[in-house]
Amino acid sequence: MAAVRATFSLGRVAGIRVGVHWSVLVIFVLILLGLAEGRFPEAHPDRPAWQYWFASAVTAMVFLLSLLAHEISHALVARRNGVSVDDLTLWLLGGIARLKSEASTPGAELRIAGVGPLVSLVLGVLFALVAGLAGLYDAGLVVEALAWLAGINILLAVFNALPAAPLDGGRLLRAMVWRKTGSQLRATAVATAAGRMLGWALIGIGLYLVLVGAVFSGIWLVVIGWFIISMATVEGGQARLRELLGGIPVSEAMTPDPVTVRSTATVSEFLTEPRFRFRHSAFPVVDNENIAVGLVTLKGADAVPEAERGATAVARVMVPVDDLPTPHPDDPLARLVPELQGGSVHRALVLEGSRLVGIVTSSDISRVTHWLSSSSTWRGRTL
């Protein structure tokens, strides 16, 4: 989901950038309050309040680490199956990984989707076993915390295995339909339709719970249902877009020989030079040998204090080329779409080796898509 951006970074785990959205605090607070004010005092009364709060805080942190393990497992298996992972972000309803491409075969899709619920299930079983062992020593709150972690991880595994997009079970359903029909688009349509059905069912159940007085549980189900419907709809739209762009190379959408900025130019020169005015909001940056090294945006340059612009090189405020999509002109345009949508600047530098030959923006994709959608000639070719 492109709209979810990390509020702060946790660094890298297994080489994958991991970020946290501010909404994770909502999960943490809900778990903290639910355990410290509810489950723990009810199960073990007459303890000092600080013990309930401390145990609840540790339990909440361990749960978030369990959630991270679930998401990292997807990313690692995706990488082993040839699917590059830009980063992943933990947020209110779980985690979102930004993938540079999709699984190339139904088997790869099955492996990538199936590992997440499997990891959660294994964690649930391990927590249950440790809780049983701790119970032999009458560990009190420790046993209660481990039992809760066991239950929540098993519940997470079961829920994610439901055959509906965007859940892991939806990916499994998609892989099976893809294998049977040979059509990725049809498989995605089946999985997203199932996702919308599940989402509406959860919303219906949630509204019923609100009416009978279980307001918090009902609202939570409505939120989850809305999320599932939204994500399933987005996935369906992306699949149709990939089908529409099938067979179109990047060279058909790119702007060739774009205006470039020298990496040694100052921010002041970049902002005042006439050829950079009123044309675009971002420009490729090249070094003295005309090798692409990054992309500078007007917004990024304008953020430099005016007094420092004359002494600040463009290279210091640009987005490095390693953080940008860099397709070859002959690469499929459809493969570039998720990279542009997930990137921070929504642009790609088209390279032949290290030589810059063009630039592609989200607007270019929209232009091509509009033409393909409205062209009777193209529609006739695709029938």
Catalytic amino acids?
71
Token duo for residue 102: 């999709």
Contact 194, 167 (CB under 8 A): no
DSSP 100: S
Between CA 135 and CA 367 the distance in angstroms is: 64
Cα 225 from Cα 167, distance rounded (Å): 12
Give the pair of three-digit tokens for residue 218.
């009902």
What is the chain's alpha carbon radius of gyration, rounded to the nearest angstrom? 25
Cβ–Cβ contacts within 10 Å for residue 205, how many?
Answer: 15
Taking the alpha carbons at both ends of the chain, their separation in whole angstroms is 31
Dump the DSSP string for 282-322: EEEEE-TT-BEEEEEEHHHHHTS-GGGGGG-BGGGTSEEGG
- Residues sharing a CB contact under 8 Å with residue 267, sequence separation 6 or more, in sequence order: 301, 304, 308, 309, 310, 312, 313, 314, 317
